[in-house]
Every structure is written in structure tokens, then in C-alpha cells.
Amino acid sequence: MNKLILITFYLCANLVTYSQTTGHIQIKCQPGVTIYLDEKLVGTTDLKYDGLLIDNVEAGRHVVEAKGGGYESELIYINVKPSKVHVHYMELFQTKRNEKRTKKNNKKLFGSLQIQSLPLDIKIYVHELGINASKIVDKWKASKISAGTYDMDFFYKGKKISKIISINNLQQAEVFVDFLNDSFSVSYRNLDAEENNLWADKKLSQMAYFIAVEEMPKPVGGMDSLQARVSYPEIAKRAGIKGKVFIKAFVDKEGKVNKVELIKGIGAGCDEAAMSAVKNAKFIPGRQKGKPVNVQVSIPILFKLD
């Protein structure tokens, strides 16, 4: 009996010690993406967690690689802290493309796609582009898609809407899928070269942004200083809307924010307030091998009711 008690005590002590040296990583993205941790396969994202939960990861710096059929791979550097859950919202990948060119001047033709929906959380399937995504943001986007026509399927709770959508050169197809009223619409907006992310553009290629570097950009004065400059919309307060808004900031080597994008929002004007605060903030630039570089970084902005 005493021996059993000692064994139980030993196992519990080891479990507590182990939990104090490990943490967890939660990857948030569309389903069907294969995740590797330090070059070892750990699983595939699914709808249960809106991604994948990686348990009991040793504390320290780790490399997460995401690969998916029809998508370009993405590397993420994560510092895991003991007994903490590190949540990473993965940006939508660039879709693989069958690049089309004009016979006359051999130029590539690309457009982009934006999808909004009611309700917000629907599934998107485009076989030719390898897209099988769970939409969890207001505006789902995919860029640098070869011009052409594509069969697109949209799903929500057993319902399906199928449409053929044209992607035009230097235009964004803006799709609205309404499952609540069984309606669908698409409009087109002209894009400039920067919006369309034309990689062949020399100026833009010089402005490439790293996803992860040795020293990531930080707001001057810290996050508390940036948070203090955020204006909480009165309409959101009255409605009791609170939570975190995640903004992607494109910070250049001078510490200037050249562009911001919404990753995940909560609405009621909070998204716009967060984007404005981040866009006008000054950053300490990111560094790689001691040199300042252009970096894209995710910034969480908290809206909390008193």
C-alpha cells in the first residue's frame, strides 16, 4: 500500500514538473493544412479547433511550418512559454496558380478575390485553385489568382450555393454570399499594382516583408502606449461589444507602418479604430542579423468594457 502511494506521488510530481516546462500552440486557420513542428509532422488543421492544437511543447523557440494542397508553405517562429497557450492566427496563403500569359507580350494576368457572407462562418471550396477553407473573418481574401473562370462552392449547415466566378486581370472580384436570404452577388473593382501584389513589379519586390525575423518590430513605448491611443467606439460600448481585434501591420525598416490589414475583428467600429491606431503608430523596426528590415507583424488590440 505504501509503495503504491509513493509511486502515485512520484508520478504526480513528475506531471507537475513536466507541465511547468511545456506549453501549447494553437494554430488558427482553415482546415486541411498540414502542420510541422521543428520539421516533424504533428497533424492537420480541422474545424473542431478552427485549426490545430499542439499540446505539451517544450518551452523555447520552435519553427512551425504549414503546408496545404494548393497553397504555398509558410514558416512561423514561435517562442513557447511554460504552461501558456500561444495562439497564432495564420494568414491566408497565396494560392497556387496555373499562370496565364498573353500571346502578344507574354505578361502574366492576375486578379484577386474577396468573399463576404451571411452568416460569417461558411466554407469555401474552389477545386482548381486547391482552396478548401473555413471562413472565420468578415472579408476572406485570396490574391494573385490567374485570370479565368472558376467553379466555386459555398457551404453552410448542409446548404450549398454553386457559382462560376470570373477573375479578371488587375481587378478584384467582390463576392457576397447570403445563405439567410438565398441570394448571391458579385461586383468588380479595379486594383492598382500594389493591391494586386504583382511580384514582378520591381518596386514591390524591393519592399518584400519578412514574416518572422530575429527581432520583431515593437511599438515605440510598448503595447501599453499603442493601446492607450485606441479610441473605443461609443456604439460598441453601448452594445456591450468587447474582445480582441487582430491587425496585420507592414512595418518598414524605418519603423513606419506602410499598410494595415484586418486579420480578425469584432465589428461595431472597433476594427476601424484598431486599424487607425496601428496605422498611425511608430515602431521600432524589426532586425535580421543586426540590420533593420521590412516585416509584417500581427498586433492584438483589446477592447475591454470598464
Average pLDDT, the chain: 78
Q: Are residues 212 and 250 in the same domain?
A: yes
Q: What is the CATH number of the domain that holds 192?
A: 2.60.40
Residue 8 has pLDDT above 60, yes or no: no
Q: How far is CA 209 from CA 78, 204, 213, 226, in A?
A: 18, 10, 10, 22
For residue 55, what pLDDT band results from cuts at 50, 70 and 90?
confident
Determine, yes or no, domain membership for 85.
Answer: yes
Q: Are residues 228 and 167 in the same domain?
A: no
Determine, yes or no, domain membership for 101.
Answer: no
Residue 192 has pLDDT above 70, yes or no: no
Query: Of 36, 54, 89, which residue is a domain's last?
Result: 89
pLDDT of amino acid 32: 72
Q: What is the DSSP string of 86-117?
A: EEEEPPPPPBP----B-TTT--B-EEEEEEEE
> What region, left, alpha or beta, does residue 223 occupy, with left being phi > 0 and alpha being psi -120 to 50 degrees?
alpha
Determine, yes or no, domain membership for 98.
Answer: no
Q: Are residues 166 and 232 in the same domain?
A: no
The number of distinct structural domains making up the chain is 3
pLDDT in tens, 74-126: 667 788 888 888 887 765 444 444 444 444 445 567 888 899 999 988 988 88
> What region, left, alpha or beta, does residue 51 occupy, with left being phi > 0 and alpha being psi -120 to 50 degrees?
left
pLDDT in tens, 254-298: 999 988 888 888 888 888 899 999 999 999 999 888 889 888 888
Residue written as grid cell 511554460: 82
Query: Of 172, 197, 222, which residue is a domain's last?
Result: 197
Say how far apart CA 58 and CA 116 lie, in whole Å: 39
pTM, rounded to two decimals: 0.37
Determine, yes or no, domain membership for 142.
Answer: yes
Q: Which three cell numbers stand for residue 275?
A: 486599424
Say how far apart CA 184 and CA 190 lie, in whole Å: 21
pLDDT of amino acid 112: 86
Say how far apart CA 173 and CA 176 lie, in whole Å: 10
pLDDT of amino acid 127: 73
The sign of the dihedral angle between the CA atoms of 196, 197, 198, 201 is: positive
- The closest of 90, 125, 76, 35 to 264, measured between CA atoms, is 90
pLDDT in tens, 24-42: 888 877 677 788 888 788 8
Q: Are residues 219 and 189 in the same domain?
A: no
Determine, yes or no, domain membership for 277.
Answer: yes
Contacts of 91 (CB under 8 A, 6+ apart): 74, 248, 263
Determine, yes or no, domain membership for 95.
Answer: no
DSSP alpha helix (H) spans, the chain: 2-19, 202-206, 222-228, 234-239, 270-279
* More confident site: 77 or 195: 77
Round the CA-based radius of gyration of the chain to a whole number and report it.
Answer: 22
Say how far apart CA 119 and CA 36 lie, in whole Å: 32
Structural domain including 170 reads 110-197
Identity at 172, one-letter amino acid code = Q
Say how far apart CA 306 and CA 95 lie, in whole Å: 43
Contact 78, 25 (CB under 8 A): yes
Long-range CB pairs of 155-160 (<8 Å, 24+ gap) are 155/122, 155/123, 155/125, 156/117, 156/119, 156/121, 156/122, 156/123
Q: How far is CA 49 from CA 46, 111, 134, 280, 303, in A?
A: 6, 31, 11, 34, 24
Query: Of 56, 89, 122, which residue is a domain's last?
Result: 89
Q: What is the CATH number of the domain that holds 257?
A: 3.30.2420.10
